[in-house]
Structure 1
Amino acid sequence: MARQARTSFPNHVHHLLVRGHNRELIAVDDDDRRLLMSHVVGAFKEHGVALHAFVLMPNHLHLLATPGSAEGIGRSMQSMGRRYVAAFNARHERTGTLWEGRYRAHMVGGDDHVLRCMRFIELNPNRVGLAPGLLDYTWSSLAHHLGATRDSSITEPPAYWRLGNTPFEREAAYRQYLEAGIGGQEALEILAALTSGRPWGNSAYLREVEKIAGHSLVARPRGRPRKSAD
């Protein structure tokens, strides 16, 4: 069966996931983690992709990013994956693949949905018990968005800028957003978008991307349309 083509538009926010083969570790220690993130940042810079948020988990990596071209995401992920695996294999004296197939991706639109996706990404360690507090996990962009650190590789998306007029206002508003937590249905919707590759956003955004694509990008109910009562 042919693989489903990804939908990727320039200047649209994308949520990306790359996972270790058989859920194995993609980074053994902090040296690996620094190396992986350096390849991500380097590839994104090379191909004109803005990095908004990330979390590096033991066996997978989530990224939120906006490409400047339709090819930016694909070329960046290919470059990052190839270079990091070569370095990882050499360092750990291993051969073969590291990734579980292709990376997964979907577009995200509408301020609220972009912020929800950021929250989903940055709260990942807290949801699975790797960090009891918001700032207890090192390998994510959460500390940057709360003002605890400054990461020059991060470019805040417009949705984050609109949280307030000053850095303090934005950080405080985003902290409240994080503390509200993630509902189970919301998490399922985001994971379903990653699995299907379909855009995730409000109705106005979905209409916008379907107009650009020239065809439906939203899942429709299966079967025949229901007959009206009359």
Structure 2
Amino acid sequence: MPRANRHHLPGHVWHVTHRCHKQEFLLKFARDRRLWRYWLYQARQRYGLCVLNYIVTSNHVHLLVRDGGGGEIARSMQLIAGRVGQSYNRRKARKGAVWEDRYHATAVQTGAHLARCLVYIDLNMVRAGVVKHPSEWEASGYREIQAPPDRYRVIDEQALLDTLEIGSVAELRECHRLWVEEALASDRASRDEWWTTAVAVGDRSYVDEVHRALGVRSPGRHVEQTGDTAWVRDDGASYGVDQRF
């Protein structure tokens, strides 16, 4: 898979989005979404990928990860995309790309902005009108956070506690549930484009810090702000507005 339009700043949390080739619904069957999650689990086992949240939709995926600085994000995305694509093509007796050649990554500030991103991911299929509540969608981190499976867990609970600045798993689950319920009852369930088109999202000081760290790699980009949320738009982001399904 060719190098994606993404940036590596170790220690940061990244919201990664990757869509199917030509936005086709190649993940419309549950078996393919489960396979993607299986290889996500394998990526955690093999490379130490630190997973904070995820959702697999019918034509794209969202993944929230913390970068440990060892190149594990790139290696994990290559592993997952490669194995899922091979399996799909073999089963369908088809040739050709299953994924877009590039995934997009947005740096997300820890704390309150990370909580908003977490909920944004959770509500993906609600925004699409497929389900009324994220608990109804199997291939999602929401279900794993609220009711962890006995085996094959992919979400790192301790890392999630640390990045959200929460003291216990019980508190995490209650806060997470309330954040989602509040979003469902307000316009925060709507799509905010910066989560999938920006280089970085957070408060102004955080975004300025990331912008400076990128240096010459972010020419012509300017910080924008809505309320307490600032972001730097990624001019090279290939994701359009229709990522909902």
Instruction: Judge same fold: TM > 0.5, yes or no.
Output: yes
Determine if the alignment matches structure 1 residue 159 to structure 2 residue 163.
yes
- 2:100, 2:155 → 1: CA distance? 26
Alpha-carbon shift at residue 173 of structure 1 (Å): 1.5
- Residues 86-95 or 32-41, more deviating: 32-41
1:37 alignment counterpart = 37
Alpha-carbon shift at residue 68 of structure 1 (Å): 1.5
Distance 1:109 1:70, change over 3 A: farther
Map 1:5-44 → 2, pairs under 5 A: 5-44=5-44
- Residues 204-213 or 137-146, more deviating: 204-213
CA contact (8 A) 1:53 1:154 kept: yes
Distance 1:215 1:136, change over 3 A: same
Counterpart selection for 2:177 from 166, 175, 178: 175
* Unaligned segments of structure 1, at least 5 residues: 222-230
Alpha-carbon shift at residue 216 of structure 1 (Å): 7.8
1:126 alignment counterpart = 126
Map 1:177-192 → 2, pairs under 5 A: 177-181=179-183, 183=188, 187-192=192-197
- 2:101, 2:88 → 1: CA distance? 17
Alpha-carbon shift at residue 170 of structure 1 (Å): 2.0
1:200 partner letter:
V
Distance 1:5 1:129, change over 3 A: closer
Distance 1:192 1:135, change over 3 A: same
Alpha-carbon shift at residue 207 of structure 1 (Å): 3.6
2:240 alignment counterpart = none
Alpha-carbon shift at residue 102 of structure 1 (Å): 0.8
Q: Percent sequence identity over matched residues? A: 27
Q: Which TM-score applies when normalising by structure 1?
A: 0.81
Alpha-carbon shift at residue 186 of structure 1 (Å): 6.7
- 2:40, 2:116 → 1: CA distance? 22
Matched length: 212
- Please, what is the CA RMSD of the aligned residues? 2.5
Could you list the runs of 4 or more consecutive aligned residues of structure 1 that deviate by over 4 angstroms after TM superposition?
Answer: 214-218
Q: Which TM-score applies when normalising by structure 2?
A: 0.76
- 2:178, 2:14 → 1: CA distance? 24
1:173 partner letter:
C
Distance 1:125 1:108, change over 3 A: same
- 2:94, 2:217 → 1: CA distance? 44
